[in-house]
Structure 1
Amino acid sequence: MKGWILIALIGATLYYLYTETDTLDEPVAEVQAIYQQAQDKLDSMTGTKMKRIDDKVDLLTADIAERLSATEQQALKLISQSQVKLDGYKERYCGNGADKHTSFSKENQTYICDKLN
């Protein structure tokens, strides 16, 4: 019985720290980053998601190749490495009131967003 009470107290303490304080935010973020890296590696090893991304990005790069500078092409390669990076790019740089990407011109950023959606 004492063991169950101890487990309940530990669980309640962790729940409180997670929901009511910022104490566990940093460790949780680190674990999520590690999990995301592992998931990206698994996706690249299986090739299923990478093939689909590569098809979409290949079409995009074929359409926009003459418009992009060398730095813009390198930035496009970086964001097209995984679906997570593409989704992150769309969330941050696509849509109304989106941030300006440091590598892309505004026109190319808008064009890329249009093609990704």
Structure 2
Amino acid sequence: MKGWILLALIGGILYYLYTETDTLDEPVAEVQAIYQQAEDKLDSMTGTQLKRIDHKVDLLKTDIVDRLSAAEQQTLQVITQSQTKLDEFKQDYCGNGADKHSSFSKENQTYICDKLN
């Protein structure tokens, strides 16, 4: 019985840290980046062709690097890994009435969208 209570307390603490604070944002972003790299490596091993992303992305990364937090930089790295992900980001988060991205501040999201268009 003590084990279940301890497990519930640990789960509650993790849930609180994940939903109410930004303590776990960087570790979660790191895990997502590692997972995405593994998925991309698997895709490349199975014969998926990679498309070259235009130079706007490279200029964006060097231009905005000092404005972004570590979690935002990792999210930008994940988004810019493939043209498909970049197109999905533009479609979902750029333009009038677009949703706010969970990782980027509104100002940084607007700046990224302006540079990509």
Unaligned residue ranges in structure 1 (runs of 5+): 1-36
CA distance in 1, matches of 2:78, 2:115: 17
CA distance in 2, matches of 1:114, 1:84: 18
The Cα shift of 1:42 comes to 2.6
Work out the percentage of aligned pairs sharing the same amino acid: 65
Structure-to-structure mapping, 1:6-85, within 5 angstroms: 42-44=48-50, 49-50=51-52, 52-53=53-54, 55-85=55-85
2:114 maps to which residue?
A: 114
Structure 2 length-normalised TM: 0.57
Q: Which protein, 1 or 2, shows the higher relative CO under an 8 Å CA cutoff with sep ≥ 6? A: 2
The Cα shift of 1:58 comes to 1.4
CA distance in 2, matches of 1:57, 1:76: 10
1:34 maps to which residue?
A: none
Unaligned residue ranges in structure 2 (runs of 5+): 1-41
- Following TM superposition, the consecutive aligned residue runs of length 4 or more in structure 1 with deviations greater than 6 angstroms are none
Structure of higher CA gyration radius = 1
- The DSSP-based 3-state class of the residue aligned with 1:42 is coil
2:102 maps to which residue?
A: 102
The Cα shift of 1:38 comes to 6.1
The aligned amino acid for 1:99 is D
Structure 1 length-normalised TM: 0.57
- The DSSP-based 3-state class of the residue aligned with 1:86 is helix
The Cα shift of 1:86 comes to 0.5
Aligned pairs, number = 74
1:33 maps to which residue?
A: none
CA distance in 2, matches of 1:80, 1:43: 16
Two-structure CA RMSD over aligned residues (Å): 2.0
